[in-house]
Structure formats: C-alpha cells, structure tokens
C-alpha cells in the first residue's frame, strides 16, 4: 500500500514524521497537479486537508465515483474541521449502509 499526503507545509511535514511522503501545495493549480501525479503513481491512500480538498473537489469526486483507488481521506487542517463537511462515519454509513 502506498500512502501520500497533499496539503499545506505543516500537514505535509507532520505526516513525513510518520513516514508518509507528500506534496506541499499553496493553490488550486498546484493541488490539481499533485492529485494527478499521485493518481498516476498509483498511490493507494491520499490524505488531504479539507480546505485543500475543496480546491479540487471536482477532481476528488471524479476519482471517488469513478475508480476503486486511491482512497481519498480528508482530514481537518490546522484551523480545525469545516463544520459543513460530513464525517467519515456518515460517509461510510451512506455508502455501505452500516451504522457504527
């Protein structure tokens, strides 16, 4: 399994301490290029802060609903969670129909 992170510098550095490679991005274009590169490399799990994910929402949705991999996990950024974002448990419940 190949993990990677796409996000701001703090997020990428934090995950590097855990052994996860990543790409630091600062705008929509950089995020789009990093996402495309991760898909092309065959990364299995992509970790992306919510704010960065919002920049490339259309691409993420296309990947989520069009391919089995990569699994894209959105995490809260250093500013905290975005209140309108659905929780991981809610997404799983809607997709699979299993309650936790």
Look at strands 21-24 and 3-7 and give their pairing.
parallel
10-residue stretch averages of pLDDT, the chain, 100 residues long: 93 93 96 95 93 93 87 84 65 65
In order of start, what are the domains of the chain with their CATH numbers? 3-96 (3.40.50.10580)
Helix crossing, 28-41 with 57-66: angle to 10°? 20
28-64: b (≥16 Cβ within 10 Å) or e: eebbbebbeebbeeebebbbbbbbbbebbeebbeebe
Q: What is the pLDDT of residue 85?
A: 59
Compute and round to an integer the Cα radius of gyration of the chain: 13
pLDDT digits (tens, 9 = 90+) for 41-69: 999 999 999 999 999 999 999 998 888 78
pTM, whole model, 2 decimals? 0.77
Q: What is the pLDDT of residue 81?
A: 72
């Amino acid at each position: 399994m190949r993990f990677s992170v796409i996000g701001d510098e703090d997020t990428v550095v934090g995950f590097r301490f855990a052994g996860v490679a990543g790409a630091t991005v600062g705008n929509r274009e950089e995020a789009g290029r990093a996402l495309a590169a991760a898909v092309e490399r065959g990364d299995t799990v992509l970790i992306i802060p919510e704010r960065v994910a919002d920049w490339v929402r259309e691409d993420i949705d296309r990947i989520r609903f069009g391919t089995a991999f990569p699994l894209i996990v959105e995490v809260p950024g250093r500013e905290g969670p975005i209140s309108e974002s659905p929780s991981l448990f809610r997404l799983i419940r809607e997709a699979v129909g299993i309650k936790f």
